[in-house]
Structure 1
Amino acid sequence: MGVEYRRSGGRATAHGTLVVAHDEAMRLTPDPRHGCLVIATSTGRLADHLGGFLGRDHDPPLRFHSLDGPALAPASLVERTWRHVCAVLDDTAAAGLHPLAARSLEESLLTSILLGLPHTATPELAEPPRRVPHHLAGFIREWVEAHHDRPIGASDIAAAAGIGVRQLQAICRAQWGLTPTQLLRGVRLDRARAALRSSGPGRRTVSDAATAAGYLHMSRFAEHYRQRFGETPTETLNHSSLPA
């Protein structure tokens, strides 16, 4: 089982992940029973995302090696992430994807490619950040508070602070014991709770609050909400409807 492919060097079969260069002609023949997942993205978009991680442009140009080289995460990370993205897109095909959720999915997929497949910048990504400006913690928190309702991710937060994602990760871990994604999620949950508590009868639903916080699934929103506040979103909303 695998994907047979033909390129200038001849014919071969890939049994796992296969990176296809944009400038090389190739013919793919997937297994007729199992098919294959195809991810198409521009090298420029990946290079921009890589620059966000490093906090600087990467030189030489980004190139992916064969899978015999080292990667920072298992190659299966790419497939799992892509399958998750496909499932979400299928679930939201009718209603459309909220911009907050779309940005989160895009960032997850690009990150999985950079971490799960070996490339020319893998050694640099493996190195710890050279300098961690912890004094930016206050700015980072304020910026997230001010922009939480926009389609942002870790790379956007890092860019606003003028640092790389790895530096941002180090700051968030040292200051709050969180990842940048968890920091953003917490701020959005806090705002969702404030909106539910100030809502009158019939004015706002839990679904509205979940969507505004960037959640695609109510169950996930309720789970994170309960973990943070010790009650469900519905309980918060019901309390807001009680007479004073």
Structure 2
Amino acid sequence: MQTLTGMASMQLTTRMAEDAADHAAFITGWQQDYAQLSCGRYQGRLDELCLPRLQLFREFSSCETWQHCQAWPGAVWFGIARPGSGGQLRYCGRSVPEYTVLLSPGGSDFTLRTPPAFLIYGIVLPLALLELHAQLLTGHDVPASWHQRGMLTLPAAAYTQLCHTLDSMLDTPADSVAPSRLAQASITALVQALLQGQGGGHVGRSTIQQRHLDWVSAASALAASPADALPTVDELCARLHVTRRTLQNGFQEVVATSPLQWLRALRLHHVRQALRSAPDDNTPINDLAAAWGFASPSHFSYDYRRQFAETPSQTRLLAWQGRGS
């Protein structure tokens, strides 16, 4: 796995994406999968600043997404969603209160269900570096809640100030400030903000919340494998041994949508990736769609065009042109 080790002392990059799967590959050293959930043409942007042993980024996605993420091992990730992200933001299946910092240790999976027009800041640094700065600033060890998966709610003013600080860091010309000073200022701003936080308990570990996450994971596994037909809600209930109402409520909590909408969006995502990854494949698009459970060519074409703002044949053509350029 790639990490920040051996990188240039300061590297600022901006990358643009027109597909959620491409966007997932942008952040240095991470393992990620993104799937587009809402309708429309996808637009993504990542501004990433890599400093010695420290990573800052600002990430925007225009459409709702499902993200399965893992930061580099030995680090701690702090996610700071732009204020006003809306009630559809879920972290490991839980709604995220306003002004809440998300935390996850590197090498550990977490999930995000993001709303439309979503912007999040990220700070990633080794746990040892975080502990050192906490000791220097406070004289105390890092609280346990700072290096485990969880959420930490800040006062609105402290949270907003942290967002402003990260914007200024990411908008600073690369040659105007020494990397060590920029890293020091970033970690200091983070620690000072976190000291005002409340909460920090584990996320997604209670029995019922873990069960809901397991249902979504099982449905995602079904969606990731070609099949003759999309399972019905009743079939999904039978597989998971739950009632229809319980399943609907669980999906609404974790991904803010229904099971069938979830399955359809993920299946469309996988068809799209098949078209983009093998543009020279001569398999008729209707046959490919049928292999992923879309029996009606007209319904598939309508759903696909509505989801991605282009036809399946346009996706294949653009991928072919991109490979030839």
TM-score range, shorter chain: 0.3 to 0.5
Greater strand percent: which structure? 2
Greater helix percent: which structure? 1
